A = this chain, B = another copy of it.
Amino acid sequence: MSVSIKDISKHVGLSVSTVSKALNGYSDIAAETRETVLKATEKLGYHPNTTARNLRRQRSEKIGVVYPAHAFESEIMMGFFRGVVLAAEEHGYNLTLYTAPAADSEALRQICRSREVDGMILIGTSLAGVLQASIKLLQGEKTPFVVLGHPVSTKKVPFIASDNEAGVQSLMKHFLQQGHKRIAYLARSDDSENNAARFNAYKQSLKKAKIPFRAEYVVEAPFTPYSGIAAMKKLLEHPKPPTAVVAFNDHVAIDACRAALERGLKIPEDIAVAGYGNIPSSLITTPTVTTVAVPLREMGETAFATLLKMIETGKAPASKIFSTKLVVRASTLEATY
């Protein structure tokens, strides 16, 4: 058994509540008394039992982070995590990890009802529908939450996302200016809202440039390691393969590059490839990958800050959409058609 407030109470001959007050900085405690208590605290090596404190205070100073099962394989997620972790540390909160419930969201409800966290951050991207289901469920509970890395159409749910449309538009503009006509899109329908927005920007850009949309130039790359390789291979089997590829994200783009290189193609001369996210890996592959830079860490920090505000004020702050920045690298650089 650890040393508790009761032990101190006995040791200094004061009541438990006096000790408690002294420790919690109440003003109605004699300076001398406080001194005595603090000394005993030091001497006995007392540390408040957070479980008991939480039970009493009805909060835990902990934030739950819910993430898709394979998050630790995605550098995008890790970028978000970094931000959340940093912000949490700064504000004296700890993080409790929960993998997103594959099917039943019952687990989530349990977490809310059990009050083991003061709020939750849902890191976006998950199998289609799962995130939506989770959101729906959480709306029925009182635990505040924010969604990170994924726009949410449901009103009143604060989310932190990047400007998918503008990001992909800048990419498309880059390709169109280079004279590309056959531009493909490697999709991730699993990541519903993000994909929808990026796909839409892709289509709109084509339309604006009066280039007909071709369904054969859209191939799926699901959220499994190296899925982009198979997707790209399929794309290259087309009799008139694309000259440029917009990948859903950098992981897919990197995979796509590998697949193209393995086919003996030159990047960007034969085919240009671009991604989304500006993850660390996009800088170390050959060729380096042109991408849409997204402030992952900052978004994570903002998600935390937003949640904190919800916890403190009880109100839902506005969602935030971060603007992006085109980063042109070798994978698209030298192509001039």
Contact = CB atoms under 8 A, between A and B. Distances in A.
Given A72-B78, A81-B72, A99-B89, A116 B284 contact: no
Given A47-B109, A51-B51, A85 B99 contact: yes
A216 interface: no
A303 to B, nearest CB: 15
Size range of the chain A interface in the assembly = 35 or more
Given A96-B62, A98-B94, A254-B284, A114 B73 contact: no
A263 to B, nearest CB: 15
A79 to B, nearest CB: 8
Interface stretch (A20-28, A52-60, A305-313): A52-60
A286 interface: yes
A50 interface: yes
Given A94-B98, A99-B85, A284-B285, A115 B51 contact: yes
- Of all A-B residue pairs in the complex, the 5 with the closest CB atoms, nearest first, are A286-B286, A47-B113, A50-B114, A72-B82, A95-B97
Given A50-B115, A78-B78, 15 more contacts: A2-B113, A2-B115, A47-B110, A49-B114, A50-B116, A51-B114, A62-B96, A72-B78, A72-B82, A72-B85, A85-B97, A281-B281, A284-B285, A285-B285, A285-B286
